Amino acid sequence: MAEQAISLLELQNNIQSAIRNNLDMHYWVIAEISELNVNYRGHCYLSLVEKNKTGDNVKAKARAIIWASRYRMLSAYFQSGSGENMKAGIKVMVKVTVDYHELYGLSLQIIDIDPTYTLGDIERRRRETIQQLEDAGIMDMNKTLEPPLLIQNIAVISSDTAAGFGDFVAQIETNSKHYKYKLHLYKAAMQGIDTQKTVIKALEAIYSAETDYDVVVIIRGGGSRTDLAAFDNFEIASNIAQFPIPVLSGIGHERDASVVDLVAFKHLKTPTAVAEFILEHTEGLEESLDYELDRLLDVTRLFIENQENKLNRLNTIFIPTVKRALANQTNQLNFQANKLHRSIRANLFAKASRVNQLEYQIKSNLNALFKANSNNLDKQTTHLISATKAFISTQNIQLDKLEQSTLANDPKHLLEKGYSLTTKNGKRIDSVKSLTKGETIKTWFKDGTMDSEIL
């Protein structure tokens, strides 16, 4: 026969008595808030959990309550001490009493909270992430990238409903300089348990995109320190640290920098500050180009002035030299022409004298022949006179041709006909073989001369 049975209520009372008689009045407990709800009466109902080191599995779970009167006091105390609101997802150290109710079972009643522990836990995890990044040697990888001179294509990681995203877009699109940018939003959760997964997914999508982005911007609209705890996550930080495009962070926390801020190429306090950084970068490029343009114009003007001065100096030296050379060449040409005229005249006089001598000799011979042969005189005389006239005519023709040839070869006459005369060092050039590269020659025309250099 079974032992004497007891009622369920008796069992519950026994459990309640055992807890009250064997447990301390209170305990300080470390746990993570997984759920938190405040009902219409002001009572706060929580679920506390303990997870394994990786945060994947729940090892323990308990219900807890903070009565309305105490909740108002503890929530204000926690907020003033940590700068955060009590909410799901944060780790806390709370002072509890253990209670067992016959209807509601085991529960913990929270009577106190230590806000410094929550801050310390966040900071501890932050330091651990930083140490992991430093040990892996990737802490400053994104900072070493070279940003493009001109930022135009911008990939934005944010929530489309975040106020910070709207501020960023407004600042970029309504800038006073009217700079144009191409923005592409990659949606991601900016707080909560989905932050790690969605941010990394956005980075992977940007890396695989066909667009060559100039920078990646990750922004959100402010928030408490615990809201930003996700950005102390090693997986997010390591992905950003090793990302091949410069990352600009503006996740909106004025007092502290998250680990993402530390590994990003550039950390700005707010989304608006990120937009201002991009605009200032573009403005700096514009100013640099303006400066280089002004500098180029100054150098060009100086070069032109120097060349003009050189030309003026060359003109001062060259023009008198050319005039002197032209005068010398003109004198030489006149001298040669006069010399040629004298030679032609002397030749003509010599020919005329020879003709006169021949005519005299012929007349003498005729007289002798006349006297010697009077019978044949008329016939011979006639024949001789005809031959003499023919000879004289031939000689005159030859003399005319010689004179015409001489006049045709007169330099002045040739120049007047459109021909040119080329000299080197004052001497006429009659063969191209006498020229050497680099020498200067002078060409005479009817209206002037021109110097040339042999190439």
Confidence class of residue 222 from pLDDT cuts 50, 70 and 90? low
Residue 9: count of CB within 10 angstroms of its CB: 10
- Give the span between the Cα atoms of 431 and 450, in whole angstroms: 19
Q: Residue 279: inside a domain, yes or no?
A: no
Pairing label, strands 182-187, 215-219 = unpaired
Q: Residue 275: inside a domain, yes or no?
A: no
Q: Residue 274: inside a domain, yes or no?
A: no
Q: Are residues 29 and 107 in the same domain?
A: yes
Q: Are residues 198 and 310 in the same domain?
A: no
Q: Are residues 393 and 415 in the same domain?
A: no
User: Among all chains, which residue has been given the structure tokens 């699109």?
Assistant: 173
**Model's pTM, two decimal places?**
0.50
Q: Are residues 140 and 86 in the same domain?
A: no
What CATH number did the domain enclosing 58 receive? 2.40.50.140
Q: Residue 280: inside a domain, yes or no?
A: no
**What value does the mean pLDDT take over residues 206-222?**
87
- Give the span between the Cα atoms of 36 and 346, in whole angstroms: 138
**In the predicted structure, residue 239 carries a pLDDT above the cut 90:** yes
Q: Are residues 146 and 213 in the same domain?
A: yes
Plot region of 30 (φ>0 → left; ψ -120 to 50 → alpha; else → beta): beta
Position 218 scores a pLDDT of 93
Torsion of CA 337, 338, 344, 347, to 10 degrees: -140
Q: Are residues 151 and 202 in the same domain?
A: yes
Please identify, among 113, 133, 156, the residue that sits at the C-terminal boundary of a domain: 113
Q: Are residues 142 and 249 in the same domain?
A: yes
**In the predicted structure, residue 171 carries a pLDDT above the cut 80:** yes
**Stronger pLDDT, 63 or 118, i.e. the higher one:** 63
Please identify, among 241, 269, 297, the residue that sits at the C-terminal boundary of a domain: 269
- List, for residues 336-391, the tens digit of each pLDDT value: 777 877 877 777 777 777 777 877 887 787 777 667 666 665 676 677 778 778 88
Q: Provide the domain count of the chain.
A: 4
Q: Are residues 133 and 258 in the same domain?
A: yes
What CATH number did the domain enclosing 150 receive? 3.40.50
- Domain of residue 306: give its range: 288-409
Q: Are residues 345 and 418 in the same domain?
A: no
Please identify, among 113, 133, 151, the residue that sits at the C-terminal boundary of a domain: 113
**In the predicted structure, residue 437 carries a pLDDT above the cut 70:** yes
Q: Residue 167: inside a domain, yes or no?
A: yes
Q: Are residues 12 and 45 in the same domain?
A: yes
**In the predicted structure, residue 157 carries a pLDDT above the cut 90:** yes
**What value does the mean pLDDT take over residues 213-235?**
79
Long-range contacts of 324-328 (CB under 8 A, 24+ apart): 325/442, 325/451, 326/448, 326/449, 328/426
Position 1 scores a pLDDT of 46
Q: Residue 120: inside a domain, yes or no?
A: no
Pairing label, strands 91-101, 427-428 = unpaired
Position 256 scores a pLDDT of 62
Q: Are residues 132 and 210 in the same domain?
A: yes
- Give the span between the Cα atoms of 91 and 287, in whole angstroms: 50
Cβ atoms of 138 and 256 closer than 8 Å: no
Q: Residue 132: inside a domain, yes or no?
A: yes
- Give the span between the Cα atoms of 259 and 244, in whole angstroms: 18
Can you read off the two tokens belonging to residue 290? Answer: 């303006």
Q: Residue 133: inside a domain, yes or no?
A: yes
Q: Are residues 20 and 54 in the same domain?
A: yes
